Amino acid sequence: MLNKIKFAAEAYAMARFVTLSVIAVGVASYALGHVGLASSPVILVPLMLGIGIAMVIRVQRAVSRLRRQSTSVRHNATQAEKHYIEVLRRIIKVVESRDRYWGGHSHNVGRLSGRIACQLGLSDSRCEQMVLAGELHDIGRLAVPESVILNHSRFGVEDFRSVQAHSAVSHDVLKPLDMLADILPAIRSHHEKPNGTGYPDGLKDDDIPLGAHILAVADAYDAMTHDRPHRHAMSPVTAMRELRRCAPAGFDPTCVEALANVLNIPALENMYGPSSACELCPA
């Protein structure tokens, strides 16, 4: 929007410059012709140059003022968005604090997502974005009824449907923030599966953004390594084996191995016996 305003202002200034120049030259030509000097370039050319230079200077000053104003508006908008994001972080902490099984989950997913992204060789700015994506990916849980959030038994069909809606709700809540535009697809799709059995859009393979693959691995790993109502926390190695067994149907293998390297899992694997059957592989 700011670029459109800037372009319109510049176009208006240039149009005004051309119009006034034409008028000025016409008036000058008429005046000179009236006194019999219409054919004299000695007078007409310097006059035209003087008018042109004066108008160019005015246009440049106007454009400079507009650019300063645009920069100020962009800065204020960015600061407002950062404040809003900080408020959302605090809200998420409050939401997760309602249930001892989920406390700190979003913070952990953000930290792991950023480390996976860096392990994959993504840029520093992209890694920072993935940290933010992990911290905010579950904001849509606000739309899930508290009775479901605090339900420590197995979900029924309707309960599961209400939980499934949270990723799309997260996307919609964050969509107005321009600074999050690059990570919105990852947030919306972090429950998609490479074999197409995920939600909310049933995406498959390369249709799933890389950021969503990263979030999915970090999300699942943190959930597996913390107590849940129906099971105890798994060890890091056991959780990693589960992720590997579920790849490539349920998780992206490259992201799984990136997390393994981040956590130095290969150095620990020899300390454990054979792995058990996978608990999370999609049907």
Going by the DSSP 8-state scheme, the letter that residue 108 receives in this structure is: H
Average pLDDT over every residue of 200-222:
97
24 residue type, one letter: A
Are residues 104 and 92 part of one domain?
A: no
Radius of gyration of the chain (CA): 30
Of the pLDDT bands very low, low, confident and very high (cuts 50, 70, 90), residue 280 is: very low
Burial class (CB in 10 A: 0-12, 13-18, 19+), 80: exposed
Of the pLDDT bands very low, low, confident and very high (cuts 50, 70, 90), residue 283 is: very low
Q: How many domains does the chain have?
A: 2
Are residues 275 and 227 part of one domain?
A: yes
Question: For position 52, what pLDDT does the model report?
Answer: 57
Q: Which domain-ending residue is among 56, 80, 97?
A: 97
Of the pLDDT bands very low, low, confident and very high (cuts 50, 70, 90), residue 17 is: low
CATH at residue 179: 1.10.3210.10
Predicted confidence (pLDDT) at residue 244 exceeds the cutoff of 80: yes
Are residues 138 and 265 part of one domain?
A: yes
Q: Which domain-ending residue is among 49, 65, 97?
A: 97
Predicted confidence (pLDDT) at residue 214 exceeds the cutoff of 60: yes
Tokens 């940290």 locate to 131
Are residues 72 and 104 part of one domain?
A: no
Are residues 92 and 136 part of one domain?
A: no
User: pLDDT tens digits, residue range 134-180?
Assistant: 999 999 888 887 777 767 666 777 777 888 899 999 999 999 888 89
The answer to whether the CB of 140 falls within 8 A of the CB of 169 is yes
The answer to whether the CB of 166 falls within 8 A of the CB of 143 is yes
Q: Please give the Cα distance from 196 to 137 (Å, whole number).
A: 20
Q: Which domain-ending residue is among 77, 97, 117?
A: 97
User: pLDDT tens digits, residue range 54-100?
Assistant: 655 666 676 677 677 677 777 777 788 888 888 888 888 887 887 78
Winning range, highest mean pLDDT, from 25-29, 77-81, 97-101, 222-226: 222-226
Q: Please give the Cα distance from 173 to 152 (Å, whole number).
A: 27
The phi and psi torsions of 231 (rounded to 5 degrees) equal: -165, 160
Are residues 135 and 242 part of one domain?
A: yes
Bond before 248 cis per omega within 30 degrees: yes
Are residues 205 and 93 part of one domain?
A: no
Contacts of 256 (CB under 8 A, 6+ apart): 217, 240, 243, 244, 247
Of the pLDDT bands very low, low, confident and very high (cuts 50, 70, 90), residue 281 is: very low
Are residues 195 and 206 part of one domain?
A: yes
Predicted confidence (pLDDT) at residue 33 exceeds the cutoff of 50: yes
Average pLDDT over every residue of 39-46:
53
Q: Please give the Cα distance from 14 to 120 (Å, whole number).
A: 48
Predicted confidence (pLDDT) at residue 6 exceeds the cutoff of 70: no
Are residues 123 and 93 part of one domain?
A: no
User: pLDDT tens digits, residue range 254-264?
Assistant: 999 999 999 99
Can you name the residues that pair with 228 across neighbouring β-strands? 231
How many distinct helices (H) and strands (E) make up the chain? 12, 0
Q: Please give the Cα distance from 223 to 219 (Å, whole number).
A: 6
Predicted confidence (pLDDT) at residue 118 exceeds the cutoff of 90: yes
Question: For position 72, what pLDDT does the model report?
Answer: 72
The answer to whether the CB of 221 falls within 8 A of the CB of 251 is no
Of the pLDDT bands very low, low, confident and very high (cuts 50, 70, 90), residue 28 is: low
Q: What is the mean pLDDT of the chain?
A: 80
Domain enclosing residue 22, as ranges: 1-97
Are residues 232 and 127 part of one domain?
A: yes
pLDDT > 70: what percent of the chain? 69
Q: Is 228 helix (H, G, I), strand (E, B) or coil?
A: strand
Are residues 271 and 147 part of one domain?
A: yes
Are residues 116 and 85 part of one domain?
A: no
Question: For position 107, what pLDDT does the model report?
Answer: 94
